[in-house]
């Protein structure tokens, strides 16, 4: 593991660490001063294909529910860290509410463009500038980070509760969902947000769906909440966090 370093963004500095092995995750978390045994919210889903019609509703989900809850509980939020889709939305929401909760992006180093540095690949993406921390992990394909992301979430939560929220989503989202369920993390699917989320929600209703949804549903750890039902989403996440935690704010 390389020593963490600061990167300057317009609104803040972010701490970045580059990892070579899963065994380095606990040390990286400690060096970056991210406390463990805290609630964790994992956000997975659509990075670039959220429709204009859905965007405003999904944006409200972040600004009115996810970011305020993370701030209230001082939960660590874990996502893919790049400046697109749900990762951009949670970053912007954190900035909007002047949040202080850790927002940690986990991304493949071969697909990450750092400020002021050359782009390593034509498929590379810039980092979202409102994240507080980034862990850059081995990989040159999207999806290489999926196991790392879930492991980081489990390491930070430790014995505290954690939950995954899936919004929209494409091919990589299936693997992200599977890895987080393998870590015994319940999965909330936002029905009505499109694509992967809607396919899983359809399967939960007993309707035709993608075969990849079936093992997720069979885990018994997946539920769907409608995109417009912000009160239910808030209450569900709070009930998960309240199992073993007390709000820090």
Asked if residue 215 belongs to a domain, the reply is: yes
Residue 56, CB half-sphere, CA atoms under 13 Å: how many?
Answer: 2
Using one digit for the tens of pLDDT, what is the confidence trace for 130-183? 999 999 999 999 999 999 999 999 999 999 999 999 999 999 999 999 999 999
Calpha distance 142→215 (Å, rounded): 22
Asked if residue 13 belongs to a domain, the reply is: yes
Calpha distance 221→184 (Å, rounded): 8
How confident is the model at residue 11, as a pLDDT? 85
- 234: domain CATH number is 3.40.50.450
Q: Which domain holds residue 54?
A: 5-241
How confident is the model at residue 36, as a pLDDT? 95
How confident is the model at residue 170, as a pLDDT? 94
Asked if residue 126 belongs to a domain, the reply is: yes
CB burial of residue 156 (10 Å; 0-12, 13-18, 19+): buried
Q: Which two tokens stand for residue 35?
A: 């406390």
pLDDT band at 28 (very low <50, low <70, confident <90, very high): very high
Pairing of strands 13-18, 5-8: antiparallel
Domain count, the chain: 1
Asked if residue 246 belongs to a domain, the reply is: no
Please report the beta strands in 29-75, taking only residues with DSSP state E, as ranges in sequence order.
40-45
**β-sheet bridge partners, residue 42:** 78, 164
pTM: 0.94
CA angle 67, 70, 72 (to 5 degrees): 110
């Amino acid at each position: 593991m390389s020593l963490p370093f600061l990167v300057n963004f317009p609104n803040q500095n972010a701490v970045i660490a580059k990892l070579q092995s899963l065994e380095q995750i606990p040390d990286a978390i400690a060096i970056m001063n991210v406390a463990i045994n805290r609630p964790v919210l994992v956000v997975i889903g659509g990075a670039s294909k959220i429709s204009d019609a859905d965007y405003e509703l999904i944006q409200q989900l972040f600004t009115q529910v996810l970011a305020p809850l993370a701030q209230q509980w001082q939960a660590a939020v874990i996502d893919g860290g790049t400046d697109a889709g749900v990762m951009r939305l949670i970053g912007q929401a954190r900035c909007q509410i002047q949040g202080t909760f850790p927002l940690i992006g986990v991304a493949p180093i071969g697909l990450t463009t750092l400020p002021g540095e050359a782009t390593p690949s034509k498929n590379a993406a810039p980092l979202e500038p409102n994240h507080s921390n980034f862990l850059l992990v081995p990989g040159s394909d999207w999806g290489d980070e999926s196991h790392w992301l879930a492991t980081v979430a489990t390491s930070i939560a430790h014995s505290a509760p954690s939950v995954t929220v899936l919004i929209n989503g494409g091919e990589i989202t299936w693997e992200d969902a599977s890895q987080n369920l393998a870590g015994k993390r319940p999965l909330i699917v936002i029905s009505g947000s499109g694509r992967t989320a809607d396919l899983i929600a359809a399967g939960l209703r007993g309707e035709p769906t993608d075969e990849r949804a079936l093992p997720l549903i069979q885990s018994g750890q997946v539920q769907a909440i409608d995109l417009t039902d912000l009160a239910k989403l808030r209450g569900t996440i709070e009930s998960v966090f309240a199992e073993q935690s007390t709000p820090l704010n």
